Chains A and B, each alone.
Chain A
Amino acid sequence: MGIDGMDKAAAERPVQRGESVTPLLELRNVNKHYGLNTVLNDVSIHVGQTEILALLGDNGAGKSTLVKTMSGVVQPDSGTLLWEGKQVELKAHTDAAELGIETIYQDSALVDSMTIARNIFMGRELVGPLGFMRLKEMREISSHVLKTIVAIEGIDSPDKLVGSLSGGQKQAVAIARAVHFKRTLLILDEPTSALAVRATEALFEYLRSLRTQGLSSVLVTHNLYDAYRICDRFVVMARGQVVFQATQQETSVDELIVHVSRG
């Protein structure tokens, strides 16, 4: 098909053994309504191991609510969630965090007025007696993380304030943090909407590399072209329902456009 990057993505992806492989996260018959408004209607999807899944659909399709259900922020009215084949209940986002699920928000969930090192270790600070932080260690590990997990250009020190970073750099720091703390499923909410072209390329490199490291990602995005380049599988939602699912080989950008706009 000659789509840029597709051949490379296919070559890097580990061979799937089809249905016999347990999905990482599965949602079965999930329903959610707010008052009379049905936001999720009998939704069944799964995220495979080492997979990049695209969650597509127009505004109001239910994508936001679905990922909030995955990350424990929203509790479904009915339906089942399974993590590695075992049923789980995510009563709060901390339950999801314990499983290794982390959401990277568009505004990157970092604190602008603090340094990179303090942000990386926010909530997971290395402490000595009485809670005093081992700042030197935190800075050294942060430096290492910045260089090895995602080598981010333009950041030479973990003491830089996050507010001075560009959107792409902030995303990278947030992803590096997630990888360092051994997350297994990343949910990225509109990650490229505020990024320049080069930063988008860099982000896709990170995601491909994360997949080979064993992480799965769910990409919520409006950008079908970006999604087609990087994702293994696509789920299209409309009016709270799943209207189309296909792997990258089974579909095309044009077909996805049709399904999304029809919704």
Chain B
Amino acid sequence: MNMSIQQVVTDEAAAKRAKVAGRRYRRQQSAFDILILFAVVIGASVVYGFISPDTFAFNSFANIQNALYTIPIEVGIPALGVGVLMIAGEFDLSVGINYIFSSIVAAQLATNGLNVWLAALIGLLIGTGIGLLNGLITLRLRIPSFITTLGTSFFWLAATFFVHGASSQPFAPDPVFASLTAGSVGVIPATFLWWAVLALAFWGLLERNRIGNHIFGAGGNKQAAIATGVRVDRTKLLAFGLAGATAALGGILAASYIGNIAPSNGQALPLEAIAACVIGGLALGGGRGTILGIVLGSALIFWIRDVLLLLGAPGFYIDAPIGVLIIGAVAVYEVLRSRRS
């Protein structure tokens, strides 16, 4: 039945204003801001690298290759899972120890004779299981995921020492596995390809699949999602599982690339992954974010360390600028957002 309401706005200026405001608001959901930030900082680095290549080897093949190898395994791949979980409105602080535990178990199994692919699969399943357990505890007991995963991270740390001890675990898979996980296709590292494929898959899930709609709903307005029939708990559980899976995958690829796993690594991963997501434009409260943002945020965190190292900054100074970057980036996004709306 056709029904018209009164007084359709005929004032062209008003209609145009509304259209522009709508377009601006739409952009807030895209990764536009971080794309600009990324382009600016990389552009500046490339330019400076050309101006002074001896003191700042940014554009060297070695530096670029190292970046492409390292970003995915150091933060890029785990950040995908952490980010999707954040959009769903939850956190996982146990991804660091998950990264270690899953890969140590896989490496140990492989070193003791199990088929390396099977060992890797078991590692992945363990990681996914850790994530799902986080989800079950959070959702059934109705406690904040921040607390749950804080608690489980201690548990899995103890489990790591129990299963393996404090020494590092070597990992020397057969050449096929090694080349598929840590080799390269031409100049492009395998780890980067894994990251690219995963990012694409996650994008498809988040932006094109019904599950993604539910993830945004669960994180953006949980009551609204429940009211329209979304199974919020089930959706969140899936996100928890994905966070665990990507953590384990990152750990296994890192183990293959580096050749061993030290239990002391991975301490910084959860907060770095969250930082990457926040820099990438994700809202801490959930319901907002893009895969491109997560990818670029991960790259930016690596970039700032890389630049400082290239400039010869002492190791312990490196983390301070990351703190500045996190606060600065979010402050800039807030200013841009409030200016538009």
Contact = CB atoms under 8 A, between A and B. Distances in A.
B167 interface: no
B247 to A, nearest CB: 24
Interface of A: 93-94, 97, 102-103, 105, 108-115, 118-119, 121-125, 127, 130-133, 135, 148-154, 156-157, 159-161, 163-164, 198, 201-202, 205-206, 209, 212-213
B332 to A, nearest CB: 19
Interface stretch (B21-29, B109-117, B175-183): B21-29
| Among A109, A114, A118, A122: residue with most chain B CB under 10 A | A122
Contacts of B22: 157, 160-161, 164
Contacts of B29: 113, 161
A111 B225 contact: yes
Interface residues of B, number: 41
Given A131-B209, A131-B210, A122 B224 contact: yes
A121 B228 CA distance: 9
B213 A133 contact: yes
B234 to A, nearest CB: 12
A123 B228 contact: yes
Contacts of A150: 3, 5
Contacts of A114: 213, 216-217, 220
Given A125-B213, A205-B3, 5 more contacts: A93-B227, A122-B213, A151-B4, A212-B1, A213-B1
Nearest to B18: A154
B208 interface: yes
B324 interface: no
Contact of B224 (A111, A121, A161): A111
Contact of A161 (B4, B26, B225): B26
Closest 9 CB pairs of A and B: A123-B228, A164-B25, A123-B229, A111-B220, A109-B224, A125-B210, A111-B221, A131-B210, A123-B230
Contacts of B213: 114, 118, 121-122, 125, 133
Interface string B274-287: 00000000010001
Nearest to A205: B5
Interface stretch (B6-14, B45-53, B296-304, B307-315): B6-14
Contact of B287 (A93, A113, A156): A113
Contacts of B8: 151, 153
13 contacts: A97-B229, A109-B224, A110-B224, A111-B216, A111-B287, A115-B26, A122-B230, A123-B229, A133-B210, A149-B3, A156-B19, A209-B3, A212-B1
B248 to A, nearest CB: 23
A109 B7 contact: no
Interface in B179-216: 204, 208-211, 213-214, 216
Nearest to B24: A164
A253 to B, nearest CB: 24
Interface string B236-249: 00000000000000
Contacts of A122: 213-214, 217, 224-225, 228, 230
A109 B208 contact: no
A112 B204 contact: no
A163 B5 contact: no
A94 B225 CA distance: 12
Given A161-B28, A202-B6, A109 B223 contact: yes
